[in-house]
Amino acid sequence: MIVETAPLRVARAMGTESEFGISQPGRPHANPMRDSARVVDAYAAPLGLKSAQAFWDFSGESPLADARGFLMSEAHADLTQLTHLPEAQPDAQYLANVVLPNGARYYVDHAHPEYSSPEVMTPREAVLFDRAGDRIAEASVRALAGTREPVTLYKNNTDSKGSSYGTHENYIVTRETDFEDLVAGLLPFFVTRQVLCGAGRVGLGRNAEEPGFQISSRADFFEEQVGLETTLRRPIVNTRDEPHADAHRWRRLHVIIGDATLAEPAMLVKMGTTSLVLGLIESGRCPQLTLADPVTALQTVSRDLGLGARLPLADGSTLSTLEIQRLYLDAARAAAGEGPDADTAEVLAEWDRFLTGLETDPLSLSADIDWVAKLALLEGYRARGLRWDDPKMQLVDVQYSDVRPEKGLFYRLEAAGRIRRLTTDAEVAAAVARAPESTRAHVRGGAARRFPRQVVAASWESLVLERSDGQMTRISQGGPEESTRAAVGDVVDSAATVDELADALTGARARD
């Protein structure tokens, strides 16, 4: 454990991954892999972007490396874990992959189209580029709307028929921090964080076999405290050790416990509070508490709409969800010190506002948190006589997350001023078109924007450019905070040819 007294800051390299639910209207048995590939291609093709399985460079990926110090053998891994071996996946011909002009990766993953945002440095940027992904998904739907096989995409996590798909987060963490310390600090936080950013869900149980409403759409699908898997035996803390950066200095915390977030204030709080808690753990200032049974507690919290349940601790005492969150907030405030920077101050203030609202009147946060907004909407239907087990209630639940603003109930609430926005349409449009300048995504996205047909392969750490004479040049981008606009200057925008860009970028890396 590292003990530091420097003021706590929220800034760190972070990003999101969203798998979208997909369906063909009137064709429930349509192949979702094929349709997901069509979704990616429909967006990529008009931009001149290459979309193919072979495009993504898997050579630097190691999804079977475990942060606890071992490497799972391929023979013991579930097929869904072998993401670095796309040829081994079912329907491998449909594994479309593309890098977008904003630095994101848009591809097919486990029968869903997935948007992996570019790396960003602040929660505000995370909100912006996650929202950009929602607009990219919407554009894909519209591109297929006039075809014989239109599709619908939903930013949710379950079909209420036993299937769940992921919304993940990624945070760069110093390698000097013991992974056991990360687990100890994160388990109580993740179990209770859902009250700040849960999506809400109609039905209890994996198959929604019991009537009711719960805070998290994902809680019923978690079975372990810690583990490597992401699609089975899902753990609260995932141990994948795949840093996409200098492995001697950094690890990438791959968070799979979160719900798909549409409300921007909740997204800000989700990313910001998690970054602050990671800072507390890294600096040895994290609250010390251990839940007796984190998996059971996770599901207890999800069903506790009154937020009063007592969660048993390992020492025999109990704390409520909000009391645990307050412990983390108080520690973060103390560690941030007097006069924190603006981004840190905003997250601390919103964290406090959310907890105060949940303590006094949860419905006062219906403009900020998806589960509260959804509950308020559904209570209106219940007031008209519908029961929780009425099929119409599940339809409303699904329709909340439709990515089309004219169809999605979330967007209709937002347009009516009933959900608060942090971004503007102009800012989101810019984030769709251009990468953030504060990370290496600046180079990756800029190359895809300027010379889409000459970007022949890419990964998070590098890209391969095809020169005018047909020769290939690999550009190493280094860690997330390298290859930024400040580091490479205006070469991405000023290069007249791909050769000029390649020469400038290789020269910049050599100087670094």
Known catalytic residue at 352: no
DSSP string for residues in 58-71? -TT--TTEETTTEE
The closest of 431, 428, 425, 437 to 493, measured between CA atoms, is: 437
Rg (alpha carbons) of the chain, rounded to whole number: 22
Q: Which residues contact 79 (CB under 8 A, 6 or more apart)?
A: 88, 89, 90
Residue from 380, 63, 394 nearest 241 by CA? 63
How many residues does this entry show for the chain? 512
Secondary structure (3-state) at 496: coil
For residues 19 and 107, give the distance between their C-alpha atoms in angstroms, rounded to a whole number.
Answer: 9
Nearest alpha carbon to residue 58 among 492, 506, 483, 458 = 458
Residue from 197, 105, 27 nearest 96 by CA: 105
Query: Which of 296, 308, 303, 293 has its CA nearest to residue 204?
Result: 303
Q: Which of 109, 130, 397, 402 is catalytic?
A: 109
51 half-sphere exposure, CB direction, 13 A CA radius: 23
Q: Which residues of 154-166 are buried (b: 16+ CB within 10 A; e: fewer)?
A: bbbbbbbeeebbb
* Secondary structure (DSSP) of 369-417: -HHHHHHHHHHHHHHTT--TTSHHHHHHHHHTTBSSTTT-HHHHHHHTT
Element (H, E) at 38: helix 32-44
Distance (Å, whole) CA 389 – CA 17: 31
Reduce the secondary structure of 147-169 to three states and give it as a string.
CCCCCEEECCCECCCCCECCEEE
**Burial (CB count <10 Å: 0-12, 13-18, 19+), residue 467:** middle
3-state helix, strand, coil in the chain (%, to 5): 40, 20, 40
Contact 484, 439 (CB under 8 A): yes
Q: Which of 281, 233, 282 is nearest to 256 (CA)?
A: 233
Catalytic residue set: 109
